[in-house]
Amino acid sequence: MSSGCSRQYDEGRDSDVYGAALMAVSMHDVARAAGVSQRTVSNVVNNYEYVRPETRQRVLDAMAALGYVPNAAARSLRAARTGLIALVVPDFRARLFADLAGPVVREAEALGYTVLIELTEGDRARELKVLTGDRNQLTDGAIMVALSLRPDDGQRRRADYPVVLVGDEVLEGQIPHVGIPNREASLAVVRHLAGTGRRRLMLLGYAPDQSQTGRARLQGFLEGLEEAGLTAYEELLVEAGWAREDGRRAIEEHMDAGRPMPDAIFAMNDSCALGALRALYDRGVRVPQEVAVVGFDDAEEARYSTPSLTSVSPNVEALAGNAVAMLHEQITGKPSGHEPRIVVDFQLKVRESSQ
């Protein structure tokens, strides 16, 4: 009962078609079938060099015959690492986060990791838990887009749980970080608009107590105005959320209130910009003839809106690639070739809405 049977589910396997997903054939079973030791099977599975070809073949045959599949849990337990990394984002509805997932999965796979997804809904407690490693010891590390962390939360970080932050750099210098070139790109937008003769620029999506992202974009915007010798009109710093409805409503209210119109609108992101575009269309304001519109993120719909939307296109592949690479370095403990802080590059995609 004990020596011959290494598993508890030998009986009733056929009837138990759906149960006990794991717990199939073990190395021990393969070893027995092939007439070798478990060690040899392990050697074959892990492509260990010094196995006689004939032995290897016998083991491979046995594996195929029995349908052997290595057990990840056992391997992880032994190796003290799971090969899993978490991608922690607020929400997949936000386009940029969904766009991040593909490249992250691809980059991770190239380094031998599998990616699992956690959704925080921007909840501070959940974001903190990632930082403090206060979850299952399931992942070797995490890439997180944090929305609600505060500057001093870095203190609470669990030292031995690798984390890379993407996006806002709330925890300056405390955690490795891959950022979006918010200030630089905003500057480039203003230069573009000023360079095509626009003089009265609106910043749409401003908020008094803003995210770092918002502040950086505002800063770049103001710097750009100054550089171009343009006036920063207070009534053209328009408060609004960053969703389409927000952009649409803000523009409608602005016009309804009879406030002076800009000749260019720089929205904090594409959603907001597209909402604005819609409002302008509804009111018969021609884009770009009367007002130019520029967004941020280069969401796919920016390319296909009517008119197509000029937008800042951050290098998402670089974002993902750097994040995964930095995480990998933390996990393997290798000295970092990357700086702990990286800002990826961007392109300004000039389209119909600003020409």
Partner DNA sequence: GTGAAAGCGCTAACAA
Partner DNA sequence: TTGTTAGCGCTTTCAC
55 binds, among a copy of itself, DNA, none (CB under 5 to 8 A by kind): DNA
Applying CB under 7 A, among 45, 84, 207, 342 the residue interacting with DNA is: 45
Letter string b/e over residues 169-178, b meaning 16 or more CB atoms within 10 A of that residue's CB: bbbeebbbbb
Looking at the DSSP assignment, which residues form a beta bridge with residue 341?
Answer: 177
Q: Quick check: 308 and 302 in contact, CB under 8 A?
A: yes
Pull the structure tokens for residue 190: 């203003």
33 binds DNA (CB under 7 A): no
331 binds DNA (CB under 7 A): no
Q: Which span (5-13, 89-97, 205-213, 319-327) binds DNA, by CB under 7 A?
A: 5-13
Token pair 């031995």 is found at: 160
Site string for a copy of itself, 30-49 (x = CB under 8 A): --------------------
23 binds DNA (CB under 7 A): yes
237 binds a copy of itself (CB under 8 A): no
Question: CB-wise, 45 or 101, nearer to DNA?
Answer: 45
DSSP code for 297:
S
Applying CB under 8 A, among 5, 23, 65, 110 the residue interacting with a copy of itself is: 23
Angle between helix 38-45 and helix 27-34 axes, rounded to 10 deg: 110
181 binds, among DNA, a copy of itself, none (CB under 5 to 8 A by kind): none
List CB contacts of 321: < 8 A, sequence separation 6 or more: 103, 107
List CB contacts of 353: < 8 A, sequence separation 6 or more: 273, 277, 287, 288, 292, 293, 294, 305, 307, 308, 309, 310
Question: CB-wise, 126 or 217, nearer to a copy of itself?
Answer: 126
Site string for a copy of itself, 294-333 (x = CB under 8 A): ------xx-xxxx----------------------xxxxx
40 binds, among a copy of itself, DNA, none (CB under 5 to 8 A by kind): DNA
- Cα separation, 175 vs 169, in Å, equals 9
16 binds a copy of itself (CB under 8 A): yes
- Cα separation, 27 vs 38, in Å, equals 6
Q: Which span (34-42, 47-55, 91-99, 337-345) binds a copy of itself, by CB under 8 A?
A: 91-99
Q: Which of positions 255-284 make contact with a copy of itself (CB under 8 A)?
A: 274-275, 277-278, 281
115 binds, among DNA, a copy of itself, none (CB under 5 to 8 A by kind): a copy of itself
Q: Which span (42-50, 127-135, 254-262, 267-275) binds DNA, by CB under 7 A?
A: 42-50
* Closest separation in Å from C-beta 304 to a copy of itself: 5
80 binds DNA (CB under 7 A): yes
- Cα separation, 296 vs 48, in Å, equals 50
Closest CA to 137 of 70, 73, 71: 73
290 binds a copy of itself (CB under 8 A): no
- Cα separation, 130 vs 90, in Å, equals 13
Read off the amino acid at residue 283.
R
Q: How far is CA 71 from the centre of its chain?
A: 29
Q: What is the three-class DSSP state of 208?
A: coil
- Per CB under 7 A, residues contacting DNA are 2, 6-8, 23, 26-28, 31, 35-40, 42-43, 45-46, 50-52, 54-56, 70-71, 74-75, 77-80
